[in-house]
Structure 1
Amino acid sequence: MDVDPSPVPESPVRDWSELPADPLTSIFMKLGAIEILMGAGLVCRSWLAAAKAPELWRFVDMTRHKLVFSKEPRTLCPMAKAAIDRSDGRMESFWGQQFVTGELLDYIATRANSLKSIRLISCIYFCEYSLVKVADKCPLLEEIECSYLTPPAEFFRSLGNVRPQLKRLRIHAEERGYDSDEIMGEMKMERRQQGDEEDEDEESEEESAEAWVARKNRDAFAIAESLHELRLLQMAGNNLTNKGLYAILKGCPHLE
C-alpha cells in the first residue's frame, strides 16, 4: 500500500529588512563603495540607514569597477560626494579612477579633514593645483598617488610648502614618448645632412650641458628642495639623470 509522503513544512519567510544595524554594517564592510551606493543601500529604509554608518566610509575605493568605465563624471562625482558626506569627516582614504574632477577635489578638501591617502588613477579632469589645495586643507595627508599627470616643477614646490611632511608620493606621467630629445636630435641630424639653410642658427641655439641637466632634473631638484620627509617616491616616466637622483637622495634622507 502506497503512503503519500507528508508535506515538507514550509520554513518561515525571513524579513531581511529587520536585521539589526550592527550585523548589516559588518556585512556592508565587505562590500565596496560602489556596491553599497548602487546596490545594498537601495534595498529598503533599514538597509539605507545601515549604509550611512560613517565607519563604512573611512576607506572609499572607486577604482577597478565596471561602472567607473561605463559612467561619466556627472554620474560618479555625485556618488563620491555622497560617500564623503556619509563619512562625516572621518574618511581616511579616497581612491578614484578616471572620473575625478577639480570640483570634486575641492569638495574633498573642504569635507575630509581626516584624509591620509588620495589616489587618482588616469584622471584628466583637474589641474595639479587642485591637488595642492587638497594637501593644504587636509592636515593628516601622508600619501598622494596620481597617474596620467605631468606636473611642472612648481607643483612639487607648492606641495612642499603646504604639506612638507608628506610621506609617500607617486607620480606616473601620461603615456607618451619620453625619448623626445633623441627624436629631435635625429631630426636635426637629418636636416643637416640635407643641407638645411637653418643649420647654423640651430647650432647656435643648442643648449649648454648645464642647461640640459637643469631641464632634465627640474622635477627632481624641486622634490629634493621641498619634500624632505618622503619615505617612498615613484616617478614613472620621468627623464631625471643621475644628478637628479643624487639630489633626491641627499634632500630626502628618510627614503626607504
Structure 2
Amino acid sequence: MWRTIHVDNLDKPWLDDKYEKMTCNAVDRSVGGLIDLDIEGFGSDKLRSYVASRSSQLKRLRLAICTNISVKALKGALKKLSCLEELELTICKFRGKNTVPLINSCPSVTTFKLNRIYQKSKCDKEALAIARSMPELRHLQLIGNNMTYDGLTAILDGCRHLQSLDLRWCYNLDNAQKLDKRLSANIKDLRRPFDSNEEFRLQTLVNATKSYAC
C-alpha cells in the first residue's frame, strides 16, 4: 500500500493547501516505501522538501503544471533522491538556463521527460546540459523543446545508450534530417517534430492551463 501515489488538482486551485496536506498524509502512510509519485496542478517548495525527506527510495517522480515550485527547492530535493530513475517535468515554470541545475542534479536518471508549450526562441542550454550530465539515459522525451540541430547533435554524442527519443513539437530542428541515418541506426523508438500527439496528455494539460506562460 501507498508505494504509488497520484494526486491531481487541475481545476480547483483554491484547494491547493488541502491537496498538499492529503499528499503529505499519503507519503507518511508509505512509511518510506514510496517509489512512484505523480503530482499535477499544485505543489509548493515545502511539499517538495517534505517528500524528499521521507521518500529516499523514490524511483519515479512526475510533476505536471507545478508552477509554484522553485528551482532551488527542487534541486535540493533531487539531491536527496539517490534512487531516482525517472524524472518528468511537464509544463513547469523553469526554462533554459534555469533548468540546467535540475538536470545536473540527476546524473543517474535513465528516463527524463521535459515537456512544455513550444516557443520560437532558440536555446540549446538544456540539450547541452543533458548531453553533459545524463550519460546513462535510455529514454528521453523533449516535447516542445526549443533546441536546435547543435543541441540534438550534442545529446546523441553524450547519451550513447539512448533507446527512445521523443522530439515532437521541437520545431527548431530544421536541419535534423542531416542526422537521419544516425537516428535511424541508434534509436529504436523515435518521434519526430511533426508526429501526432494524440496519445499524449500534453494537449489536455495545455488546455487546462492556458493562463500559464510556461
Please name the residue that 2:87 is paired with.
144
Q: 1:224 aligns with which of 125, 131, 135?
A: 131
Deviation at 1:164, TM superposition (A): 0.9
Task: For 1:73 and 1:252, locate their aligned partners in 2 and report how far apart those are by CA, in whole Å.
Answer: 38
Instruction: Tell me the TM-score normalised to structure 2 length.
Output: 0.69
How many residue pairs get aligned? The number is 161
| Counterparts of residues 61-80 of structure 1 (less than 5 Å) | 61-63=6-8, 69-70=11-12, 72-80=15-23
Is 2:74–2:102's contact at 8 Å kept on the other side of the alignment?
no
Task: For 2:123 and 2:63, locate their aligned partners in 1 and report how far apart those are by CA, in whole Å.
Answer: 25
4+ long deviations beyond 4 Å: none
Distance 1:68 1:87, change over 3 A: farther
Deviation at 1:157, TM superposition (A): 4.5
Q: Map Cα deviations across residues 49-80 of structure 1 (whole Å, 9 max, x no partner).
A: xxxxxxx11000113xxx65335211100000
| Counterparts of residues 31-110 of structure 1 (less than 5 Å) | 56-63=1-8, 69-70=11-12, 72-110=15-53
Secondary structure, in 3 states, of the residue corresponding to 1:94?
A: strand
Q: Which runs of 5+ in 2 are unaligned?
A: 164-214
- Relative to total residues, which structure has the larger helix share, 1 or 2? 1
Secondary structure, in 3 states, of the residue corresponding to 1:135?
A: helix
Deviation at 1:132, TM superposition (A): 1.8
Please name the residue that 2:60 is paired with.
117
Deviation at 1:152, TM superposition (A): 3.3
Letter in 1 for 2:6: D
Please name the residue that 1:250 is paired with.
157
Letter in 1 for 2:144: G
Q: Map Cα deviations across residues 113-161 of structure 1 (whole Å, 9 max, x no partner).
A: 110011111111111232222221011001111111233335334533x
Please name the residue that 1:204 is paired with.
none
Distance 1:129 1:151, change over 3 A: farther
Q: Map Cα deviations across residues 81-120 of structure 1 (whole Å, 9 max, x no partner).
A: 0000000000001101111111100101111011001111
Q: Map Cα deviations across residues 147-191 of structure 1 (whole Å, 9 max, x no partner).
A: 11233335334533x331111111112x3x612x5xxxxxxxxxx
Is 2:39–2:62's contact at 8 Å kept on the other side of the alignment?
yes
Secondary structure, in 3 states, of the residue corresponding to 1:76?
A: helix
- Relative to total residues, which structure has the larger strand share, 1 or 2? 2
Instruction: Tell me the TM-score normalised to structure 1 length.
Output: 0.58
Letter in 2 for 1:57: W
The structure that has the greater radius of gyration is 1
Secondary structure, in 3 states, of the residue corresponding to 2:99?
A: helix
Is 1:128–1:151's contact at 8 Å kept on the other side of the alignment?
no
Please name the residue that 2:175 is paired with.
none
Is 1:92–1:114's contact at 8 Å kept on the other side of the alignment?
yes
| Counterparts of residues 197-212 of structure 1 (less than 5 Å) | none
Is 1:157–1:226's contact at 8 Å kept on the other side of the alignment?
no
Distance 1:101 1:157, change over 3 A: closer
Task: For 1:121 and 1:157, locate their aligned partners in 2 and report how far apart those are by CA, in whole Å.
Answer: 18
Task: For 1:153 and 1:68, locate their aligned partners in 2 and report how far apart those are by CA, in whole Å.
Answer: 27
Distance 1:225 1:120, change over 3 A: same
Task: For 1:123 and 1:155, locate their aligned partners in 2 and report how far apart those are by CA, in whole Å.
Answer: 14
Deviation at 1:236, TM superposition (A): 1.8
1:127 aligns with 2:70: yes
Please name the residue that 2:100 is paired with.
156
Q: Which runs of 5+ in 1 are unaligned?
A: 1-55, 182-214
Deviation at 1:221, TM superposition (A): 1.0
